[in-house]
Amino acid sequence: MELGKRIALVILLLGLLSACHKDYGPQAVNGGILRPDSNAVIIVNEGNFQWGNASLGQYNPERKSYEDGLFRNANNQPLGDVLQEAHRIKNRYYLVMNGSNELVICDLNWKEISASAGINAPVHLAYWENSIWLSDLYSPKIRQYDLDGKLLAEFNLGFSNARMFIWEKQLHFYQGSRWKYLESVNASLRSGFSNLQDIDQIITIGEGIIISYENGNVYHWPSRGGNPIPLASFQLPLSYRVVDESKDRFFSYDGDSLYVHNLQNNYARSPLIAIECENFYGLSFHAPSESLFLFDARSFVQPHRIRRINPNSGTVLDDFQAGALPSGLVRKW
């Protein structure tokens, strides 16, 4: 189970640790025949550690309806233990199964194509140079797979639980104060970033990146050729950010309120809505429906809570329940 998901980045770590040692009820699955809806928002339900109740569900914004069990319905079997991330790459889905130690590949109807073994506990996935790159929660190794799940290479990064992002056609890895990158598939790892503070989160926006540190300082780095610009007008202690690329803005949540940060205001923080979570578990932006999704794990026991929010007005558009521990949406590359 990833310890990087945060209740405002610190509190959630404690919640996740406690979640690994408690007993929880089984996953609620809707009855009837479930047909994949290409216009639906795909919800990732992480599931409780060692319960094997991870799932994928679909939410229809127009009908405000949720159906659970996409993988179970297509394969007549449960998905597995702890769905860390889900990605759509071309005409396939790639599911990072942290507890089951697998990379599961499905077609667009969620029928399983293959399952490749991870190192120990796969945690983050990136798609770069027509390959799948997978980091591990406990191992410092990174694995490279082809799009069919065949292992191509494995190398030692030097630190575990690496987050990844692509910037200026390079693949970057970071965790804490460590940051390395690859310039090409066959290149050696480089580490040109020193004297770093502990990194909280890095997000790509436009041609640049936003770097936030554990101490709350935030910088905008427009390009590698320039220098990071401190956004001194605000700090984001214990916060979580998600990007809307189409409008050069990002959103942050600090446990009590949602904020919007626009490029034209130098990404200064503007309140969007005061909204509390009993146990914050994730924030996602869905571009097709132009909606924010705020995930609340509550006490790690169902029912869990998801709120859909208008990113322009802050209006809560819906308040609904999903499967076991909903934590995010499918990422489309």
Cis amide leading into 122 (omega within 30) = no
pLDDT in tens, 90-137: 999 999 999 999 999 999 999 999 999 988 999 999 999 999 999 999
Distance of CA 245 to the CA centre of its chain: 16
Domain range list for the chain: 11-332
At the fourth CATH level, the homologous superfamily of domain 11-332 is YVTN repeat-like/Quinoprotein amine dehydrogenase (2.130.10.10)
Helix H, strand E, coil C: the string for 257-312 is: EEEEEEHHHCCCEEEEEECCCCCEEEEEEECCCCEEEEEECCCCCCCCEEEEECCC
What DSSP designation does 66 have?
E
CA distances from 212 to 20, 209, 238, 316 (A): 28, 10, 10, 27
248: helix, coil or strand? coil
Tell me the two tokens of residue 317: 């558009």
The whole-angstrom separation of Cα 321 and Cα 305 is: 5
pLDDT digits (tens, 9 = 90+) for 202-221: 999 888 999 888 887 888 89
Which segments of 116-275 does DSSP mark as H helices, in order? none
Residues of the chain with pLDDT > 70: what percent?
A: 86
